[in-house]
Amino acid sequence: MIFFIPPIQKKSINSSFKINKMMALKGKKILLAISGGIAAYKMNYLVRDFIKNGADVKVILTPSAENFVSKVTLSTLSKNPVFSDFYDENRTWNSHVEFGLWADVLVIAPCTANTLSKMIHGICDNLVIATYLSAKCPVFIAPAMDLDMYAHPSTHENLEKAEKFGHHIIPAEFGELASGLVGQGRLAENETILQKIEDFFAASHPKTLDGKTVLITAGPTYEAIDPVRFIGNHSSGKMGFSIAEEAEKRGAKVILISGPTSQKLNNQNIKIHKVTSAKEMYDEVFRHYKNADIAIMSAAVADYTPKFVAKEKIKKSEAEFTIELVKNPDILKTMGEKKSHQFLVGFALETQNEEENAKGKLEKKNLDMIVLNSLKDEGAGFQKDTNKIKILTKTEQKEFSLKSKEDVAKDILNFVEEKFNKS
């Protein structure tokens, strides 16, 4: 039996409640999957509402949904391309796996009886279903169909199975349907869908780091050779930025010190200090270190810098060219020496004798914890959206599977919190 759930009335939503929730979507990655029902036109407004509340939105469609909504409109509103097939017009592959890894939540709305059935039984014949089957994020389903279709035992059974899968169901509401009938089957109002997702995000991040200051470094450093050339390490900064955003979600005051990177923050509450060289990063770190409770040093700092920096561009003349290098100050080692109350976390990217080298760094630099990456692990390393890590302390180690860097950030902070609270 499908139970009637009355729609939420606008006047019943307390304005202060809405204000408290309005920041819950800020910086969240919402993947909206639209299937081919008449209610699909309402998704233009839902996308707009998501964007207004600070979310980053991507949209995918079932082939039949294109009969009801315009890709151009949805792309304009979401500020992202919209896809309905595995290949675009240029025969470029649209990876369902990447969509699933990118999203914080997958929202399927409207979800037709056909799409619902395919989801439950694993009938993978379009981009939406392939994305759904590979997604690891929470799934919200907002069904919409005619009265008797919604009341049919097969629909009821599929919704029950979806709940057993751990999905969140936003029930259809009572009202006038496209057929002219009146009853339950109408897509939940956009306001209701929006509120359900806001509530989810608001509840999913308990403020476990409330009152704590977390200092994070990210990205590479560039060491100038002349006004146009530099040496440095490969680093996109993605890992450090992901840790910073996750720490802020947990209530921490976050100080992010970043070398040159194209990464953008989705959270305006995070204070970012941009630097270029290792010396600049050193100076900036120690401006804030004494006030930090937790310091997570994920930056790829150059170990050496040119002894002399040319004031003008060095002209190409000789077949060989020699640059004399001198050691940069060791930021992490100095932090270990000056550590008083701080919980200090370092990173180690290794290509050989990984654990041995990481343990050596942990000991020599007086760290509380070190995060080990190996370039030998497929999907880990530079410029990737995924990472595979092993965490080591002086008494234990824990290995994690390949995950998105957002999920890796959660694993790191979960481990930090566990150890920090015991110290």
- Of 86 and 30, the structure prediction assigns the larger pLDDT to 30
Count CB-CB contacts under 10 A for residue 394: 11
- Please, which pLDDT band fits residue 12 given cuts at 50, 70 and 90? very low
Q: For residues 397 and 405, what is the distance between their CA atoms, to the nearest angstrom?
A: 20
**Which of 15, 87, 25, 79 is closest to 50 using CA atoms?**
25
What distance lies between CA 120 and its chain's CA centroid? 26
Q: Report how far residue 178's alpha carbon sits from residue 171's, in angstroms, rounded to the nearest whole number.
A: 17
Q: CB neighbours of 210 closer than 8 A, spacing ≥ 6?
A: 250, 251, 252
The token pair that represents 43 in the structure block: 């998704």
- Cβ–Cβ < 8 Å for 374, 354: yes
Structure tokens at 92: 């470029």
**Cβ-contact 109, 187 below 8 angstroms:** yes
Q: Is the confidence at residue 5, as pLDDT, over 70?
A: no
Please, are residues 343 and 209 in contact by the beta-carbon 8 Å criterion?
no
Query: Residue with structure tokens 């200092």?
Result: 215
The full DSSP string for 67-96 is GTS-HHHHHHHHTS-EESSSB-TT--B--H
Q: Cα dihedral sign for 103, 420, 296, 272?
A: positive
* Of 410, 420, 343, 53, residue with least CA distance to 206: 410
348: nearest Cα among 358, 337, 359: 358
pLDDT digits (tens, 9 = 90+) for 31-65: 999 999 999 999 999 999 999 998 999 999 999 99
Which residues are known to be catalytic? Answer: 233
How far apart are the C-alpha atoms of 158 and 147, rounded to whole Å?
16
pLDDT at 199 (0 to 100): 86
Buried b (16+ CB within 10 A) or exposed e, 310-345: eeeeeeeeeeeeeeeeeebebbbeebbeebeebbbb
Q: Which sign, positive or negative, has the C-alpha torsion 306, 307, 313, 316?
A: negative
332-387 pLDDT tens trace: 999 999 999 999 999 998 778 888 999 999 999 999 999 998 776 666 666 677 88
- Whether residue 181 has pLDDT greater than 80: yes
Kindly report, residue by residue over 290-341, the tens digit of the pLDDT: 999 999 999 999 999 999 999 999 888 777 888 999 999 999 999 999 999 9
Question: 25 with 55: CB under 8 angstroms?
Answer: yes
Reply yes or no on whether the pLDDT at 423 is more than 80: no
In this structure, are residues 85 and 94 in contact, taking their beta carbons and an 8 Å threshold?
yes
Q: Is the distance from CB of 107 to CB of 30 less than 8 angstroms?
A: yes
Domains and CATH numbers, the chain: 10-204 (3.40.50.1950), 213-304+324-422 (3.40.50.10300)
> Whose CA is closest to 272, among 23, 280, 209, 264?
264
Interval 203-237: pLDDT, tens: 777 788 999 999 999 999 999 999 999 998 888 99
